[in-house]
């Protein structure tokens, strides 16, 4: 009997110890980086640098609420270019970047929280474009514009295309209208939103060639309990209809 009691007590101690380890340090703080990628994340003033309340968008609203519910501290900064902030999140403990497409080749590089929203991959043309495509192979004969460092640009290269990349995706809307590129490989709804900001509307979807889900990508050193807490709160927000409400507010 005494021996059984000792075993039971030992088990209780182990459970309590495990719970203690799972507690999140109240002083723990994440550094969240993002870019101008409307309507998911954008600087209120349209600049390529903004912090905290000067950033808004679908993903920003969702992530703010998620961290608030989880009781986890963070700092949020919008910077440029994407390549730089992606690299920082990849290399620096306590850093995260959003919104990032969760792709097979990226899966093991980060810890993921999401999905936050969809991102269909499309080839856009001018409203009067006569181009027809059945596959990406058909696009190889055309000048295709894409956003440098973006998952879409990387995907095109993997498929044997040679996209003409721009440092800002908005430049591709202008290039398309000026005839400098024949097609614009971008996300939907992001591309159309960006085009409207440049006064460009009525673009035609020539090909819808893939889709991805957008996530918050966290450095692999971020504690599992932090990732799990954030994911649990996001799941609750989705089940309550909060995520759909935010999406509808912007789209």
pLDDT for 188-215, tens place per residue?
A: 988 988 898 889 989 999 999 998 899 9
pLDDT classification of 251: cutoffs 50, 70, 90: low
pLDDT classification of 2: cutoffs 50, 70, 90: very low
Greater model confidence, 88 or 10:
88
Q: Looking at the domain 119-212, which fold is it?
A: D-Maltodextrin-Binding Protein; domain 2 (3.40.190)
Helix boundaries (H) for the chain: 2-22, 58-70, 82-91, 151-158, 169-178, 190-197, 224-239, 242-250
Q: Looking at the domain 26-118+213-250, which fold is it?
A: D-Maltodextrin-Binding Protein; domain 2 (3.40.190)
pLDDT classification of 163: cutoffs 50, 70, 90: very high
Rg over alpha carbons for the chain, rounded to the nearest Å, is: 22
The bridge status of strand 183-188 relative to strand 164-166 is unpaired
The bridge status of strand 50-51 relative to strand 29-34 is unpaired
Greater model confidence, 8 or 244:
244
Phi-psi region of 124 (alpha: psi -120 to 50; beta: other; left: phi over 0): beta
Mean pLDDT of 125-141: 97
What global pTM score does this model have?
Answer: 0.72
For the chain, the average pLDDT equals 91
pLDDT at 247: 85
Task: Tell me where in the chain the CATH 3.40.190.10 domain(s) lie.
Answer: 26-118+213-250, 119-212
pLDDT classification of 4: cutoffs 50, 70, 90: low
């Amino acid at each position: 009997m005494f021996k059984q009691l000792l075993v039971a007590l030992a088990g209780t101690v182990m459970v309590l110890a495990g719970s203690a380890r799972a507690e999140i340090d109240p002083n723990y703080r994440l550094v969240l980086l993002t870019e101008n990628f409307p309507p998911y994340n954008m600087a209120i003033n349209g600049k390529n640098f903004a912090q905290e309340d000067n950033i808004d968008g679908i993903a920003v609203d969702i992530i703010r609420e998620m961290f608030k519910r989880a009781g986890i501290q963070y700092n949020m900064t919008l910077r440029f270019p994407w390549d730089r902030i992606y690299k920082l999140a990849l290399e620096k403990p306590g850093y995260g970047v959003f919104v990032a497409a969760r792709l097979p080749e990226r899966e093991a590089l980060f810890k993921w929280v999401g999905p936050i929203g969809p991102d269909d991959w499309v080839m856009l043309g001018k409203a009067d474009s006569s181009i027809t495509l059945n596959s990406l192979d058909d696009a190889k004969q055309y000048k295709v514009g894409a956003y440098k460092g973006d998952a879409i640009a990387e995907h095109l290269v993997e498929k044997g295309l040679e996209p003409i990349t721009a440092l800002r995706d908005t430049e591709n809307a202008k290039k398309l209208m000026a005839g400098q590129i024949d097609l614009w490989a971008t996300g939907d709804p992001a591309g159309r939103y960006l085009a409207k900001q440049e006064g460009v509307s009525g673009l035609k979807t020539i090909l819808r060639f893939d889709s991805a889900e957008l996530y918050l990508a966290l450095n692999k050193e971020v504690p599992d309990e932090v990732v799990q807490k954030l994911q649990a709160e996001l799941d609750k927000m989705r089940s309550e209809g909060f995520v759909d409400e935010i999406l509808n507010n912007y789209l």
